[in-house]
């Protein structure tokens, strides 16, 4: 059981930074920020959860069954992530690539302390045995000074796959498409830095400030950090309503308003971008149908253009109504990994991209999010994100693009660099 207290705050932007800064004392932290991005489906402006009372850490084997048992037994707030390699729990696939980050495949924790900000209202929820700490903690938060970035860190970022090698690999993907093995593949490559120490909070605050995405995440589990500026929702459950919003299609932003509008309109009408979006839309529709009331799967927005500070994106919204015979976790298990990060058909694509990619994706192209006490959930897609292991001093981010029969390898490479821009700016 939790004690809940409501506080009115004068400066929501300031309290966000104070919460994130105050949280650094804890071993387990998750800070989710919607950045006031205009969206139809949203529960809060930001949420902070800290200090695990219980937790679940596991590899991919039986991971979804373990998560189901954990979620159903706690019936409380749970925060954490699903890594891409949980695909091995869902299908008969595997990965032989190296993993330099060494994150657990799945990690969730039940926090002792939760802060939920919406407008000028801050709701504080503490587990009952520690609710006598609320007043002291809140006073400490209000007196916390927001960090000033005075640290200059030298981060030498390397590219795992060279431009020449990338172009060759995209041609191999297209060969598979022309042979009829697959229709579309999301092929990714890693950027990394070794023997590097960074200040994770400072890097997150900068990444968030230059991107302002609706699904930003600062996550810490001891030495593992996720600094995410994700614009993409994987899956949301609100009552019986399930919402998926895959992104497929990207174009550049311009300072000149005329150029910017042209870039946006070109994306909206680009046959290649629309084709890749619609293919993934069909995949998501089929995935959602597995746990949906018959006839309830609907495409409510098709190929709509949304603008973010770094890029324009083409997003489709698909909804369904959850059939009551299925558990909360069944929806995640039957749709994971998300089609926007694999391609179609899923199993064939996952095998092919694992052969061509040179590192395990790990948390990248997985999902970070939460479960509410009543069994609702919301998860992002881990893209535009920096991953960091402070023990091994390894920094990593990955980018990718959808390869179809219409893809021009050089343009796909340029799209990857466009997506990498914000992370490179933050690290360099």
Q: What is the helix (H) or strand (E) element at residue 74, kind and residue range? A: helix 63-74
**CA gyration radius for the chain?**
21
- The DSSP output letter for 340 is G
Predicted pLDDT of residue 151 = 62
Predicted pLDDT of residue 352 = 97
Predicted pLDDT of residue 39 = 86
Grade residue 297 by pLDDT with cuts at 50, 70 and 90: very high
Grade residue 146 by pLDDT with cuts at 50, 70 and 90: confident
Predicted pLDDT of residue 206 = 94
Among 234, 192, 251, 203, smallest CA distance to 369 is for 234
Looking at the DSSP assignment, which residues form a beta bridge with residue 370? 79, 378
Residue 33's CATH number: 3.60.120.10
Domain count, the chain: 1
Per-residue pLDDT for 118 more than 70? yes
Q: Residue written as tokens 């801050």?
A: 122
The 10s digit of each residue's pLDDT in 348-387 is 999 999 999 999 999 999 999 999 999 999 999 999 999 9
Burial of 43 (0-12, 13-18, 19+ CB in 10 A): middle
Per-residue pLDDT for 149 more than 70? no
| Domain range enclosing 399 | 2-427
Q: What is the mean pLDDT of residues 98-105?
A: 96
Q: Which of 149-153, 193-197, 336-340, 389-393 shows the lowest per-residue confidence on average (mean pLDDT)? A: 149-153
pTM exceeding the 0.75 threshold for the entire prediction:
yes
Q: What is the mean pLDDT of residues 36-60?
A: 94
Grade residue 242 by pLDDT with cuts at 50, 70 and 90: very high
Tokens of 385: 């994100």
| Cα distance between residue 42 and residue 50, in whole Å | 21
Predicted pLDDT of residue 58 = 97
How confident is the prediction for the chain on average, in pLDDT?
95
Q: Is 232 a catalytic residue?
A: yes
Of 16, 248, 264, 333, catalytic: 248
Per-residue pLDDT for 147 more than 80? no
- C-beta separation of 400 from 189 below 8 A: yes
Predicted pLDDT of residue 152 = 65
Q: Which of 188-192, 276-280, 391-395 shows the lowest per-residue confidence on average (mean pLDDT)? A: 276-280
| Cα distance between residue 164 and residue 168, in whole Å | 7
Q: What is the mean pLDDT of residues 416-426?
A: 94
Q: What is the mean pLDDT of residues 213-218?
A: 97
Predicted pLDDT of residue 150 = 60
Q: What is the mean pLDDT of residues 207-213?
A: 95
| Cα distance between residue 424 and residue 15, in whole Å | 28
Name the pairing type of β-strands 106-118 and 121-127: antiparallel
Of 28, 184, 190, 232, catalytic: 232
Q: What is the mean pLDDT of residues 286-313?
A: 95
| Cα distance between residue 183 and residue 284, in whole Å | 15
Per-residue pLDDT for 400 more than 70? yes
Q: Is 272 a catalytic residue?
A: no
Name the pairing type of β-strands 394-403 and 385-389: antiparallel
- C-beta separation of 349 from 404 below 8 A: no
Q: What is the mean pLDDT of residues 318-337?
A: 97
């Amino acid at each position: 059981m939790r004690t809940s207290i409501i506080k009115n705050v004068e400066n929501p932007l300031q309290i966000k930074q104070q919460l994130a800064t105050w949280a650094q004392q804890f071993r387990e932290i998750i800070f989710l920020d919607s950045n006031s991005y205009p969206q139809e489906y949203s529960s809060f402006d930001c949420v902070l959860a800290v200090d695990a009372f219980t937790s679940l850490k596991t590899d991919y084997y039986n991971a979804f069954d373990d998560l189901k048992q954990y979620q159903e037994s706690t019936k409380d707030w749970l925060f954490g992530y699903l890594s891409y390699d949980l695909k091995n729990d869902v299908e008969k696939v595997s990965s032989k690539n190296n993993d330099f980050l060494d994150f657990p495949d799945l990690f969730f924790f039940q926090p002792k302390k939760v802060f939920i900000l919406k407008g000028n209202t801050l709701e504080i929820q503490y587990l009952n045995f520690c609710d006598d700490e609320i007043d002291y903690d809140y006073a400490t938060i209000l007196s916390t000074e927001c960090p000033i970035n005075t640290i200059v860190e030298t981060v030498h970022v390397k590219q795992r796959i060279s431009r020449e090698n990338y172009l060759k690999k995209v041609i191999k993907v297209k060969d598979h498409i022309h042979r009829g093995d697959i229709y579309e593949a999301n092929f990714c490559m890693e950027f990394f830095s070794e023997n590097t120490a960074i200040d994770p909070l400072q890097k997150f605050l900068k990444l968030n400030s230059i991107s302002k995405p609706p699904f930003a995440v600062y996550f810490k589990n001891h030495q593992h950090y996720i600094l995410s500026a994700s614009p993409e929702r994987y899956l949301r459950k609100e009552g019986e309503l399930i919402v998926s919003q895959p992104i497929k299609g990207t174009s550049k932003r311009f300072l000149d308003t005329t150029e910017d509008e042209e870039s946006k309109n070109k994306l909206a009408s680009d046959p290649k971008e629309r084709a890749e979006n619609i293919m993934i839309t069909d995949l998501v529709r089929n995935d959602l149908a597995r746990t949906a009331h018959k006839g309830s799967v609907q495409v409510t927005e098709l190929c709509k253009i949304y603008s973010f500070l770094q890029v324009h994106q083409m997003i489709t919204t698909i909804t369904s109504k959850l059939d009551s015979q299925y558990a909360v976790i069944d929806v995640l298990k039957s749709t994971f990994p998300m089609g926007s990060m694999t391609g179609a058909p899923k199993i064939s694509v996952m095998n092919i991209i694992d052969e061509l990619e040179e590192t395990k994706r790990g948390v990248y192209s997985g999902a970070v999010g939460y479960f509410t006490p009543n069994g609702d959930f919301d998860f992002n897609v881990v893209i535009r994100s920096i991953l960091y292991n402070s023990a091994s001093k390894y920094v990593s981010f990955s980018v990718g693009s959808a390869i179809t029969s219409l893809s021009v390898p050089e343009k796909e490479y340029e799209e990857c660099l466009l997506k990498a821009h914000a992370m490179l700016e933050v690290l360099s």
